[in-house]
Structure 1
Amino acid sequence: MRRRLLIGLTAASVLTAATACGSSDSGEPDGAGSSGGTTTVTVGLIPIVDVAPLYLGQKKGFFSERGLKLDFSSAQGGAAIVPGVVSGQFEFGFSNMTSLMIARSSDVPVKAVANGIASTGVVGEDFEALTVKGDSPIKSPKELEGKKVAINTLKNINETAVRAAVRKAGGDPDRVELVELAFDQMPAALDGGRIDAAMVVEPALATIKSQGGREIASPMVDIAPKLTVAMYFTSTRYAQENPEVVQKFQEATAESLAYADSHPDEVREIVTTYTRIPADVLAKVTLPKWPAEPDRAAIEELARLGEADGLFEQAPDLDELLP
């Protein structure tokens, strides 16, 4: 069954929104403000474990000591965050690499400014997984042909990952029915039989396992051992007009990533402040890696897969996209 409800991110729609966005009377771009030497910036995020370093960095003062205050705004996925950043609703955003590459391939003016997360590189021990209900007869991604599989948003890295897993197992990814569902809704939908499988990340992965669900693949590990899954980004316009703010954000984010990578207990604690995951489930969460730099070779492989799946209008210019 051909994929349904495919949604595209067009340059026209976001560029129209961008032109409607101006500057406030204070001279700061809309959504940003400064007071007493502190600049407040809004960051579009997904409420998942991946973004814990920013919450932790804010708490530890890594941003405030550079004159920044972060205002977090939640969204379902990177595909929704991209237009928010380009329109000026957010100064910065967190998005998976595929959504960013789709944007660049459509001439949407986005620029990655800081690394986000990477796969652990270990099959069966990653922060993401393709999962099924415990009593499901499905044992392999090949058996997802004709089945309903949930991903958080269409035309993003999780679509690429599911399709790659099915293809690697000898199946036809075009026969998989992909449906959109927020990560935090996937455990209940899977347990209730409303979907046959879910491409899920932490903390929802731990919840599914606590319900007896099981993994049938670690698709992102299969794409590349050290896959750069997501990055923080801004609009090219904001980067050009606010280079000092962008530099401060980059520096504070880098410090936050390094701190999170070496303080897993504090990561788990901070996750409780922006998700509703129970403490006993949180203790079992597999944390991603938070390296300082993106893996260019892994991103190139992700781009190759996205191009093969027809996700891009033209090959994305990675030199223009990456820092």
Structure 2
Amino acid sequence: MLRSVTRRAARARLPIAGLALALAATLTGCGLLGGDDEGSGSPSGSGGLEKTKIKVGTIPVVDIAPLHYAIEQGYFKDEGLEVETVVQPNGQRAIQGIMSGDLDISFSTYAATFTAQSQRVADFKVVADGLAAKANHLMVVATPNSPVKKATDLPGKKIAITAKNTFTDLAPMAVMKVQGIDYQQIQWIPMPLPEMLGAMTKGDVDAAVVVEPWVTKAMKEAGAVPVLDAASGPTAELPMSGYMAVAGPGKFATTSPNTIAAFQRAMAKAQAQGTDRTKMEPMFVKYAKLDESTAKLVTISTYSTRLEPNRIQRVANLLEEFGAIQGTSTSPR
């Protein structure tokens, strides 16, 4: 169950397919009210920072451009906070990092976090929203030599995805479902995103589901063409990622509400700059490791400046719709 811990909604529990995921606070400066059910956080806005140096797990994707921009512009420093970024090889390792305490906060996809939460591996809290997919950010693409020319060609074909029950298969299935395309006949082939282009070129797969910057790279480097926009219709502006922490006795989301509030204020300021390509493109080059010409072509998606439970609820609904998580709605507490 998803609960917003602002003063107005601290007691409300929103249906999120039985998950115990909590919004740590709004991005309007409110702190973490009372931590989790077992912990004891400080009152909103009171006192100094519990930690002045934190470690934040990152992945080299375009989603985290505002985080690096905030560091470079001194937004965290203005809040009395020093942020050390620690690059993680994948979302699973990022989640493991906050569970172990090696990281205080970590970037992760909502799909990965909600799935982990449904397995009760930890009490995750969303610290800050990340990126919501605009059109052309999450795409099914195919190379010119592929038998897949349009979305109706996908059934019966081999399609590369990062993993089962992630946005790379769930979002396309949601779009195909409303279009009447039999997605159940697709053979999903898990592989890392950097390997998908080669697999398509060699004919090992007929198409691939990719996110930016791999959408742009596939089109630029292999002449790939769009087959289906997986961020359209029922998945338009779908929240993709955010920054997570773990709550519980002695855990960061419970013990450090003022530090979290400082992190949120700095992130909100940086995310508000997300539509300015002149500010984001240098971050793509330095931290997502894109060349400048590719960075200029990447689709800029929505960098959210506040946590909105109803929007993030869409992810849980998507996961539940296709059986990735199980659960039922709960009544207000």
TM-score (norm 1): 0.78
Check conservation: 1:133, 1:191, Cα contact below 8 A.
Answer: yes
Structure-2 residue corresponding to 1:160: 170
Question: Equivalents in 1 of 2:177, 2:89: separation in Å?
Answer: 26
Q: Which residue of 2 aligns with 1:112?
A: 126
Match of 1:69 among 59, 82, 92: 82
Please tell me whether residue 60 in structure 1 is matched to residue 79 in structure 2.
no
Structure 2 counterpart of 1:267, from 261, 280, 284: 280
Structure 1 partner of 2:9: none
Instruction: Report what 2:234 is aligned to.
Output: 223
Q: In structure 1, what is the equivalent of residue 30 of structure 2?
A: none
Q: Distance in 2 between matches of 1:168 and 1:266?
A: 37
Asked if the contact 2:76–2:263 (Cα under 8 Å) also holds between the matched residues in 1, the reply is yes
Provide the alpha-carbon RMSD of the alignment: 2.7
Structure 2 unaligned blocks of 5 or more: 1-19, 21-49
- Separation in 2, partners of 1:45, 1:150: 24
Equivalent of residue 300 in structure 1, options 313, 322, 331 = 313
CA shift in 2, pair 1:188/1:74, >3 Å: farther
Letter matched to residue 239 of structure 2: T
Asked whether the equivalents of residues 111 and 315 of structure 2 are also in contact (C-alpha less than 8 Å), the reply is: yes
- Aligned counterpart, 2:258: 244
Helix, strand or coil at the partner of 1:114: strand
Other-structure match for 1:29? none
1:149 is matched by which residue type in structure 2? I
Q: Deviations over 1:28-60 (max 9, x none)?
A: xxxxxxxxx983322222211111001111111
TM-score (norm 2): 0.75
Contact 2:274 2:302 survives alignment (8 Å): no
Q: 1:282, CA displacement in angstroms? A: 1.7
Relative to its length, the structure with more helix (as a share) is 1
TM superposition shift of 1:273: 1.0
1:1-323 equivalences in 2 (<5 Å):
39-107=52-120, 108-120=122-134, 122=135, 126-210=136-220, 211-236=222-247, 237-261=251-275, 263-315=276-328
Which structure ranks higher in relative contact order (CA pairs < 8 Å, sequence separation ≥ 6)? 2
Give CA-to-partner distance per residue, 1:138-185, whole Å, 9 cap, x none: 133343233222222332222211322332343333332223323233
Alpha-carbon distance in 2 for matches of 1:317, 1:72: 37
> Is this contact kept in 1: 2:273–2:279, CA < 8 A?
no
- 3-state SS, counterpart of residue 304 of structure 1: helix
String of CA shifts for 1:68-100, please: whole Å, max 9, x gaps. Answer: 233223335434422322222321112222222
Q: How many residues align?
A: 280
Among the aligned pairs, what percent are the same residue? Answer: 25
Shift in Å at residue 265 of structure 1?
1.3
Structure 1: runs of 5+ lacking an equivalent: 1-10, 12-36
